[in-house]
Homo-oligomer: A and B are copies of this chain.
Amino acid sequence: MVASIGATPAVGTDGTETAARGPVLGLDIGGTKIAVGVVDDQGSVLSYLRAPSKPEQGPDESLKRLFELGHRAVADAGVDIHAVGIGCGGPLDSERGILIAPLHLPGWRDVAVTALAEQAFEQPAFLENDATAAAAAEHRFGAGVGTRHMLYLTISTGVGGGVIVDGELYRGAEGNGSEFGHVTVDWHGRRCRGCGRLGCLEAYVSGTSISERAGEAGLPGLNASQLAASAEAGDPVARALWDETIEALACGLTSIVNLFEPELVVIGGGVSNTGEQLLGPVRVRVQAEAMTPAGHDVNIVRAGLGDHVGVVGAAAIALDRIIA
**A interface residues with partner B (beta carbon < 8 Å):** 1-2, 91, 100, 148-149, 165-166, 170-180, 182-188, 195-197, 199, 247-248, 251-252, 254-256, 258-263, 289, 291-293, 296
| Copies of this chain, tallied across the complex | 2
How many Å lie between the Cα of A195 and that of B291 in the bound state? 7
- Measured CB to CB, the closest approach of chain B to A313, in angstroms, equals 19
How many Å lie between the Cα of A148 and that of B321 in the bound state? 21
Which residues in B have their C-beta under 8 angstroms from that of A293?
Answer: 91, 100, 174, 176
B149 touches A172 (CB 8 A): yes
Q: List 17 A-B contacts (CB under 8 A).
A: A91-B293, A176-B261, A176-B291, A176-B293, A178-B259, A178-B261, A179-B291, A182-B291, A183-B183, A184-B251, A184-B252, A186-B186, A186-B187, A186-B199, A187-B251, A255-B255, A259-B260
Known A-B contacts A186-B186, A252-B184; the reply to A259 vs B179 at CB < 8 A is yes
B261 touches A172 (CB 8 A): yes
A261 touches B177 (CB 8 A): yes
Given contacts A179-B259, A259-B260, 16 further A-B contacts (CB under 8 A): A1-B148, A100-B293, A165-B170, A172-B261, A173-B261, A174-B261, A175-B261, A176-B293, A177-B259, A179-B258, A182-B255, A182-B258, A183-B183, A183-B255, A186-B187, A195-B289
